[in-house]
Structures are given as structure tokens and as C-alpha cells.
Amino acid sequence: MTLAGKFIVIEGLEGAGKSSAIESIGECLRRNGIGFVNTREPGGTAMAEQLRDMIKHGFEGEMPSTASEVLMMYAARCQLVEQVIRPSLKQGDWVIGDRHDLSSRAYQGGGRGIALQELDTIRQFAIGNFEPDLTVYLDIDPSLGLSRARSRGSLDRIEQQQLDFFERARVVYLDAVASNPKVVKVDASLDMRAVQEQIITEVQTFIDQN
């Protein structure tokens, strides 16, 4: 079934500046008279928010294994897609997603080392062929991103990974940019205004083509 709205996702490593990017995309859609909803992953439904909390902080001192972590990510994503994203798109709203499936490939695949073919199988079971119409990937050197994220406050369980975890995650993101025309790269190491200009250019081009 063709969905009336479009799903735009913002992706990137820690400190890439996703929060301000999401605001810029929202302003751009508003200027174009397009109604939208915001989502975040993991999270975005009551159940998915509970999973988010356990993924980020564990539960009563118990930390998820690598396999549990990835299954919780997809459980949360499945809930969000079925309860919020698909219904919104169906009624003609656009959706701005703070992360989606590419985060699992980057963090659980690249970072944790789960084979991407295994993730494909889980993904197919959880959400089938559902995918974003446009992904804006904010590319940043992990050491710069982490120093920005640290200046923002304390780091959660995943954010506390070593630099090489994020370097492996970045490789997966860059592979996606190279292989999938629906994933566009923005240089997030520049100052905020320059980053926002690149994002708005990409999103406006996408709007004009749709």
C-alpha cells in the first residue's frame, strides 16, 4: 500500500547535533505547509519508552546482553512503526524520526559486531520492508562528537563505549551513504549554522521532488 506521508530520519553518532537538526527539519516542513509528527528511537510509544529506559540504563542493576539489546531495539521499533509511524503516514502526516533502523546496523552491527545478515533477518521479521524515504546522516569524527556529548552531561551505557566502537559504527553509516541513494551525508563537524544550511538544502530538495 502506498503511504501518503513521508518518513525522514536523522542519524548520526553522539554529539553530531541531531537535536538541532530535527528542529531545522521541522521548520522546513512547516514553511512548506507540511504537517508532521516527531518520533525517537528507541522509544515513542509507552511500551517502547520502557524498553528505552532498560536499554540505556539496565533494570535493577541487570544489564542486557548484546543479543537482548538488539532484540529490545527491534521490539521497540516494531511497536513504534505499527502504532505511530505507519498510521501517521497513512493519514498524510510526515514523520521526522530521531534514529531508526540504520542506528541498529551502525551500533549493534558495526559497534557490537553482530553480522549485518543476522540483523537483516531480525529486521525482516520485525518490520518487513518498511524503510525511511530519506535519511539525513550527520557525519562527525567520533572524538569530536564524544567531546561535544560529554560537555552536554553524563553519558549513558552505550555512550560510554570506547572510541573504536564509534569508529566501527561510522564505517557502517558511511557504507550506507555509498550504497543507498536514500541516505544523504551532511558534514556535522562544521558550525551549527553551516550544518543547518546543508540539512535544509537536502530536505527542501527532497520536498521539491515529492
A 10 A CB-CB count for 152 gives 10
What is the per-residue binding string for ligand Z5A in 137-166, x denoting contact by CB under 6 A?
-----------xx--x-----xx-------
Of 29 and 126, CB closest to ligand Z5A:
126
* DSSP secondary structure letters along 58-77: -BTTBPPPHHHHHHHHHHHH
- What is the identity of the amino acid at 15? G
Positions 102 through 141 that interact with ligand Z5A (CB under 6 A):
103-104, 107-108
- Does 41 belong to an annotated binding site? no
The nearest distance, CB 195 to ligand Z5A, in angstroms, is 5
Q: Is 63 in the site for ligand Z5A (CB under 6 A)?
A: no
Question: What part of residues 39-58 is at the interface with ligand Z5A (CB under 6 A)?
Answer: 41-42
- Nearest 5°: CA angle at 155, between 116 and 8? 50
Query: Which residue lies nearest ligand Z5A, judged by its C-beta?
Result: 17
Question: Is residue 92 marked as binding?
Answer: no
Distance between CA atoms of 62 and 32, rounded to whole angstroms?
A: 47
Q: What share of the chain is helix, strand, coil (3-state, %, to 5)?
A: 55, 15, 30
Shortest Å, Cβ 162 to ligand Z5A: 12
d(CA 58, CA 51): 9
Contact residues for ligand Z5A, defined by CB under 6 A:
12, 14-20, 41-42, 73, 99, 103-104, 107-108, 148-149, 152, 158-159, 191-192, 195
